[in-house]
């Protein structure tokens, strides 16, 4: 009697792309709002961005149910932190928490591909990029999700980021202004939408700076 194989998968890929770019005193986090399964679009208006703390915003693509569960776990942990420390978590602290939370489920992972963006303790923009099981690093910009393979080379070209192997370490944060970075993000998504079937419908952009948090939207192709 051969062992029964499961004929259902606990995972699904609901698609979508996320991007984050760090500036000298701002951070731009963006994601499309399309949610798909297989060759169908489930909804055109679903946010993948979640504000975890005052100065930390996470964008996640992948399996939507896991993404939502991850957002809830982090929100709950942040609330406990606030009760215990009487202050907001800093972005680097949240980055470590996200990594630990992902690794906690190393043997039944959250199928979530995350970029965490925000302002560090000095007010400079920071971006952290993750894989599904929590390995992370701080970078100047990052892209995750179905359109990442299309966007990352374009960002490499436009942002001319210094090699992380240089000594002394050169800052990867972009010298671009906030509005230039936002335009760059819009260009990334317009291009990715052309060639990636899972990216499109609408773009949600969150901008974090000293004055707080701001949201912008842009229509994308719906085909």
14 binds another protein (CB under 8 A): yes
Closer to another protein by CB, 43 or 121: give it: 43
Assigned token pair, 36: 């798909």
For another protein, the binding residue among 80, 108, 157, 163 (CB under 8 A) is 108
Binders of another protein among residues 165 to 204 (CB under 8 A) are none
For another protein, the binding residue among 80, 83, 86, 107 (CB under 8 A) is 107
Closer to another protein by CB, 6 or 80: give it: 6
Q: How far is the CB of 7 from another protein (least distance, A)?
A: 6
Neighbours of 121 (CB within 10 A): 11
The helix (H) or strand (E) run that includes residue 208 is: strand 202-209
**Whole-angstrom distance, CA of residue 149 vs CA of residue 145:** 8
Q: How far is the CB of 1 from another protein (least distance, A)?
A: 7
Q: How far is the CB of 89 from another protein (least distance, A)?
A: 25
CB 174 within 8 A of CB 140: yes
Residues 6+ apart with CB under 8 A from 19: 28, 29, 30, 31, 59, 115, 141, 142, 143, 151, 155, 185, 188, 189
127 binds another protein (CB under 8 A): no
Determine the size of the site formed for another protein (CB under 8 A). Answer: 27
Burial class (CB in 10 A: 0-12, 13-18, 19+), 188: buried
Contact segment (CB under 8 A) with another protein among 85-93, 104-112, 150-158, 168-176 equals 104-112
Contact positions toward another protein, by CB under 8 A? 1, 3-4, 6-12, 14, 35, 37, 40-43, 45-46, 63-65, 68-69, 107-109
């Amino acid at each position: 009697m051969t062992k029964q194989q499961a004929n259902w998968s606990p995972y699904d890929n609901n698609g979508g792309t996320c991007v984050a770019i760090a500036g000298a005193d701002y951070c731009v986090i963006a994601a499309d709002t399309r949610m798909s399964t297989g060759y169908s679009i489930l909804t055109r208006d679903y946010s993948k961005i979640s504000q975890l703390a005052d100065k930390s915003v996470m964008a996640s693509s992948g399996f939507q149910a896991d993404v939502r569960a991850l957002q809830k776990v982090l929100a709950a942990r942040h609330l406990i932190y606030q009760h215990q420390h009487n202050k907001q978590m800093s972005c680097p602290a949240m980055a470590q928490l996200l990594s630990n939370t992902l690794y906690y489920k190393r043997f039944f992972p959250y199928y979530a591909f995350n970029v965490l963006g925000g302002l560090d303790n000095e007010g400079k923009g920071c971006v952290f990029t993750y894989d599904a099981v929590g390995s992370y690093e701080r970078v100047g910009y990052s892209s995750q999700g179905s359109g990442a393979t299309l966007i990352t080379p374009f960002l490499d070209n436009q942002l001319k980021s210094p090699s992380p192997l240089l000594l002394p370490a050169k800052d990867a944060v972009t010298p671009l202004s906030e509005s230039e970075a936002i335009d760059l993000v819009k260009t990334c998504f317009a291009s990715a939408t052309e060639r990636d079937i899972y990216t499109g419908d609408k773009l949600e952009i969150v901008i974090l700076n000293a004055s707080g948090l701001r949201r912008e939207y842009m229509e994308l192709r719906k085909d």
